Copies of this chain bind each other. A is one copy, B any other.
Amino acid sequence: MESGYFKDKEFIITNMRPIRNLFNYLWNDSSLCQCDHFGNGYFFRNVGTQRRNIDNGERNVYIKDKKTGLIYSANRNYDNLPFDKYECHVGLGYQEIISEYNGMRVIFSLLVAKDDPVLLFNVKVENISNEKKEFDLYFENCPTPDTTWHAAYSYAEYDKQINGIIYHHDAFNPPNEYAKIFVSCDKKFDGFETSKNRFIGTYNDFSNPESLIKGKLSSLGTTFDNFIAAFSFSLSLNPQEHFEVTFSTATTINIDECYELSAKYLRKNAFNLEKQKQIELNDSYIDIFHLDSSDEYLNTQVNIWLKRQLSLGKTWGRIYGKGFRDVMQDITAFISFDCELAKNKILHALKYQYEDGNPIRMFEPNFKYPYNDGGIWIPEAILAYINESGDLNILDIDVPYLKGDSYENAIPSDAYFTEEYVSGQRKGNVFEHIQAAMDYLIGCRGEHNLVLWRGGDWNDSINNAGNRGIGESVWLSIATVKALNDFLDILNLIDKKDLVQKYIAARDELKAAINKYGRINNYYIYGINDDHEIIGGEERMFLNPQSWAVFADLSSKDELTKTMDKVEEKLKCDYGYVLCSPSFTKGKDNIGRVSYFQPGLVENGGVYNHGVAFKIIADCLLKRGDIAYKTLKLISCDNPKLANSGVEPYAVTNMYIGPENKYFAGFAPMCWVTGTAGWLYRAVTEYICGIKATINGLKIDPCLPLEWDEIKVSRIFRNNKYEFVIKRGKDKGIYVDGKLINGNVIDIPSPNKLIKCEVII
Contact = CB atoms under 8 A, between A and B. Distances in A.
Interface stretch (A429-437, A439-447, A566-574, A594-602): A594-602
Given A172-B592, A596-B171, A224 B669 contact: yes
Contact of A223 (B205, B220, B225, B598): B598
Interface stretch (A104-112, A417-425, A536-544, A660-668): A660-668
Contacts of A124: none
A205 B204 CA distance: 12
Nearest to A38: B203
A604 interface: yes
Contacts of A17: 202-203
A177 to B, nearest CB: 13
A657 interface: yes
A343 interface: no
A152 B464 contact: no
B598 A153 contact: yes
B224 A657 contact: yes
A337 to B, nearest CB: 34
A409 interface: no
Given A19-B202, A592-B172, A602 B669 contact: no
Interface string A353-384: 00000000000000000000000000000000
A173 interface: yes
A271 interface: no
The secondary structure that dominates the A interface is: loop
A224 B664 contact: yes
Contacts of A223: 598, 601, 661-664
Interface string A134-152: 0000000000000000101
Given A150-B597, A224-B601, A589 B172 contact: yes
B202 A205 contact: no
Given A17-B203, A223-B661, A593 B669 contact: no
A604 B170 contact: no
A601 to B, nearest CB: 4
Interface string A458-470: 0000011000000
Interface string A200-214: 001101010000000
B21 A202 contact: yes
Contacts of A661: 223
A669 B197 CA distance: 12
Interface string A1-26: 00000000000000001011100000
A721 to B, nearest CB: 46
A222 interface: yes
A155 B367 CA distance: 27
A323 to B, nearest CB: 16
A221 interface: yes
B413 A172 contact: no
B19 A587 contact: no
Interface string A617-646: 000000000000000000000000000000
A271 to B, nearest CB: 29
A157 to B, nearest CB: 9
Interface string A571-614: 00000000000000001010011011110011010000000000
A482 B626 CA distance: 87
A498 to B, nearest CB: 46
8 closest residue pairs by CB, A with B = A172-B593, A152-B597, A152-B601, A172-B596, A223-B598, A17-B203, A152-B602, A155-B598
Given A172-B587, A223-B662, A225-B663, 8 more contacts: A20-B202, A150-B597, A152-B598, A152-B602, A172-B589, A172-B595, A205-B207, A224-B669
22 contacts: A19-B202, A20-B202, A21-B202, A152-B602, A153-B593, A153-B597, A170-B596, A171-B587, A171-B593, A172-B463, A172-B464, A172-B592, A205-B207, A220-B663, A221-B662, A221-B663, A222-B663, A223-B598, A223-B601, A223-B662, A224-B601, A224-B657
Interface of A: 17, 19-21, 80, 150, 152-155, 170-173, 202-203, 205, 207, 220-225, 413, 463-464, 587, 589, 592-593, 595-598, 601-602, 604, 657, 661-664, 669
